[in-house]
């Protein structure tokens, strides 16, 4: 986690920063207290990744010693320093200048705030983020087929504590990614799941820019009920949700995860709040895009051909193709959306088929091209 994550916590609301540089991207891996350590002991006790709390009691009567101690902490390359306003309320300007050069934030905090409370809150956050990071690494290793058999068994034991014989996967992709908001939603969802009578049948983890949930079940109707309850917990304005329930197929867990991830991508592409893997249609062939480079290259050539024709003849073929495919080949609906006569749309579609000459069936080729283009454009935006 970063110092910026720390400073967003409510516990740090009354902290006062005295340095100009924020150091918000400094990585935080630990938090500790400097009490009585001598200057010689400081590099042995603190270092990179540490957020250090101190009263500077050891130099409470000497400004010269205070400067030496602060410089020693800075030289240890800590991530941030917070001084309790008991013995000192300001520090030498030289220390501030040095901290700014090293991009290490120095803060003061009020006497009514206890260091122990800060340590508990920060360590809880660090442990939580480390847990999610470990989960994310395991998922990536699993879906890239790099896990050993015993590791797969350990992962299944982690997500399926009830040892049930079926596992469904939900992936909720944040529409406007904000790590703090996603972490907050993870905590909120975990608290709600704890109240479930079947809490051991559900596992939650943060994955990349969203939240992944596993539903473990043996009864299909019960799974549908759990799914409905979980989906109702997501704000539709915040997430694109895709899922794979795996009722009959009994796919390997890695395949179910990939299917849920691809489903959430389709939700994002098609701008629908919720979609199951069974509903994503041709995207089963298209996604993930990085596995279909040949298809992307061919479709990009077709798109270029259409746009060049539009530029030369002002023909609106690209817009017509996009709306025609979105309307599943319905000319009347396409014409209505574009405020055109149906014959105008028919003419443009025929022109598109001519452009696709010698490339199999016109509609199939056009449909695939526009879907790949839509997925490709969505990936660029995100």
Q: What is the pLDDT of residues 312-365, one digit of tens each?
A: 999 999 999 999 999 989 999 999 999 999 999 999 998 888 887 655 556 788
The CA–CA distances, whole Å, from 235 to 186, 194, 241, 267 equal: 13, 19, 10, 14
Is the Cβ–Cβ distance between 36 and 113 less than 8 Å? no
The CA–CA distances, whole Å, from 345 to 204, 314, 329, 339 equal: 48, 14, 11, 10
User: Residue 149 contacts by C-beta under 8 Å, 6 or more apart in sequence?
Assistant: none
214: three-class secondary structure by DSSP: strand
3-state secondary structure 162-197: CCCCEEEEEEEEECCCCHHHHHHHHHHHHHHHHCCC
Residue 179 above 60 pLDDT?
Answer: yes
Best mean pLDDT range from 22-36, 115-129, 261-275: 261-275
pLDDT band of 81, cuts 50, 70, 90: very high
106: three-class secondary structure by DSSP: strand
Largest Cα–Cα separation, the chain: 91
Dump pLDDT digits (tens) for 228-282: 888 888 888 999 999 998 766 667 899 999 999 999 999 999 999 999 999 998 8
Question: How far is the C-alpha of 43 from the C-alpha of 275, rounded, in Å?
Answer: 54
Domain with CATH 3.30.70.270 in the chain: 126-280
Lowest mean pLDDT among 155-159, 193-197, 312-316, 347-351: 193-197
Q: Which pLDDT score, from 0 to 100, does residue 196 have?
A: 79
C-alpha closest to that of 179 among 2, 354, 323, 58: 2
Query: CATH classification of 3-113 is 3.40.1390.20, yes or no?
Result: yes
27: three-class secondary structure by DSSP: strand
Question: How far is the C-alpha of 170 from the C-alpha of 274, rounded, in Å?
Answer: 10
Q: Which pLDDT score, from 0 to 100, does residue 379 have?
A: 67
The CA–CA distances, whole Å, from 171 to 158, 243, 274 equal: 17, 6, 10
Q: Which two three-digit tokens encode residue 7?
A: 């400073």
Q: Which pLDDT score, from 0 to 100, does residue 151 have?
A: 93
Lowest mean pLDDT among 89-93, 117-121, 359-363: 359-363
Q: Which pLDDT score, from 0 to 100, does residue 381 have?
A: 53
Q: Which residue has the higher pLDDT, 182 or 198?
A: 182
Is the Cβ–Cβ distance between 56 and 30 less than 8 Å? no
The CA–CA distances, whole Å, from 41 to 79, 175, 185 equal: 18, 48, 41
Q: Which pLDDT score, from 0 to 100, does residue 360 have?
A: 53
Tell me which residue has tokens 């015993």.
150
Tell me which residue has tokens 């409370």.
117
C-alpha closest to that of 121 among 271, 280, 12, 273: 12
Mean pLDDT within 140-167: 89
Tell me which residue has tokens 């994955």.
207
Q: Which residue has the higher pLDDT, 7 or 143?
A: 143
Give kind and range of the element (H or E) at residue 32: strand 30-34
For 126-280, the fitting CATH number among 3.30.70.270, 3.40.640.10, 3.40.50.11540, 3.20.20.70 is: 3.30.70.270
Q: Which pLDDT score, from 0 to 100, does residue 47 have?
A: 93
Residue 290 above 60 pLDDT?
Answer: yes
């Amino acid at each position: 986690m970063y110092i910026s994550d720390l400073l967003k916590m409510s516990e740090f609301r009354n902290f006062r920063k005295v340095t100009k540089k924020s150091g918000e991207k400094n990585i935080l891996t630990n938090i500790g207290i400097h009490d009585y350590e001598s200057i010689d002991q400081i590099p042995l006790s603190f270092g990179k990744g540490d957020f250090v709390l101190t009263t500077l009691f050891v130099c409470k009567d000497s400004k010269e010693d205070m400067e030496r101690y602060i410089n020693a902490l800075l030289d240890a390359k800590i991530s941030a320093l917070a001084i309790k306003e008991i013995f000192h309320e300001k520090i030498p300007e030289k220390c501030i200048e040095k901290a700014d050069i090293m991009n290490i934030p120095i803060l003061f905090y009020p006497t009514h705030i206890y260091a122990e409370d800060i340590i508990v809150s920060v360590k809880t956050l660090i442990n939580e983020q480390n847990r999610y990071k470990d989960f994310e690494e395991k998922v990536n290793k699993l879906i890239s087929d790099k896990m050993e058999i015993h590791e797969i068994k350990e992962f299944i034991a982690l997500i399926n504590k009830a040892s049930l014989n079926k596992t469904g996967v939900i992936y909720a992709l944040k529409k406007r990614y904000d790590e703090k908001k996603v972490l907050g939603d993870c905590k909120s969802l975990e608290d709600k799941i704890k109240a479930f009578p079947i809490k051991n049948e559900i596992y939650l983890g943060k994955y990349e820019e969203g939240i992944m949930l596993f539903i473990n079940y043996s009864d299909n109707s019960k799974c549908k009920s759990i799914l409905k309850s979980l989906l109702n917990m997501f704000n539709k304005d915040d997430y694109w949700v895709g899922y794979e329930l795996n009722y009959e197929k009994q796919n390997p867990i890695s395949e179910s995860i990939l299917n849920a991830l691809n489903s959430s991508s389709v939700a994002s592409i098609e701008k629908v709040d919720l979609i199951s893997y069974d509903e994503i249609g041709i995207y089963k062939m298209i996604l993930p895009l990085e596995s279909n480079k040949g298809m992307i290259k061919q479709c990009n050539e077709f798109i270029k051909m259409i746009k060049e024709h539009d530029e030369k003849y002002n023909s609106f073929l690209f817009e017509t193709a996009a709306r025609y495919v979105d309307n599943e080949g319905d000319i009347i609906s396409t014409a209505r959306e574009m405020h055109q006569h149906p014959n105008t749309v028919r003419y443009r579609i025929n022109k598109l088929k001519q452009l696709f000459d010698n490339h199999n069936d016109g509609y199939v080729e056009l449909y695939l091209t526009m879907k790949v283009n839509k997925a490709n454009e969505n990936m660029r935006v995100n």
